[in-house]
């Protein structure tokens, strides 16, 4: 019910080889920005793994939001990172999540955007 202690915007610029990310944060107070950090996660959806043994043998399990790369801590006011897209990753299923943590590890704000195919 309380307003977020941080606002977050996320911009992506993508080519088939890379996803460049810019995350900008705005804080409710100067105290909130002290010790804060931004983290960026490159994720992929629609992955599957074939199970060969156990109770799920012969089944294919589906996975979403599998983190391929996690970077941080980054500057909480203006974070920038360029993810390299590895071969075999499905461009249409990639996305980026950003989150701002305070000095104690409390989440101040989080945001995710799908990448463009």
For residue 62, give Cα distances in angstroms to 35, 56, 96, 106.
37, 12, 19, 30
Q: Is pLDDT at 116 greater than 80 in this prediction?
A: no
Per-residue model confidence as pLDDT tens digits over 50-108: 999 999 899 998 999 999 999 999 999 999 999 999 999 999 999 999 999 999 999 99
Tell me the pTM: 0.88
Phi, psi of 35, deg, nearest 5? 80, 0
- The 3-state DSSP class for residue 87 equals coil
Please compute, for residue 48, the number of CA atoms within 13 A of its CA located in the half-sphere on the CB side: 6
What are the residues whose beta carbons fall under 8 Å from the beta carbon of 53, sequence distance 6 or more?
none
């Amino acid at each position: 019910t309380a307003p977020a202690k941080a606002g977050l915007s996320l911009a992506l610029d993508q080519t088939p080889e890379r996803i460049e990310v810019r995350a900008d944060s705005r804080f409710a107070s100067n105290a909130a920005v002290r010790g804060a950090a931004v983290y960026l996660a490159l994720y992929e959806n629609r992955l599957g793994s074939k199970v060969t043994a156990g109770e799920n043998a012969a089944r294919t399990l589906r996975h979403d939001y599998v983190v391929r790369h996690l970077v941080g801590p980054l500057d909480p006011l203006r974070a920038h990172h360029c993810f390299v897209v590895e071969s075999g990753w499905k461009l249409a299923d990639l996305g980026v999540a950003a989150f701002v943590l305070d000095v104690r590890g409390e989440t101040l704000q989080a945001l995710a955007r799908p990448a463009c195919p």
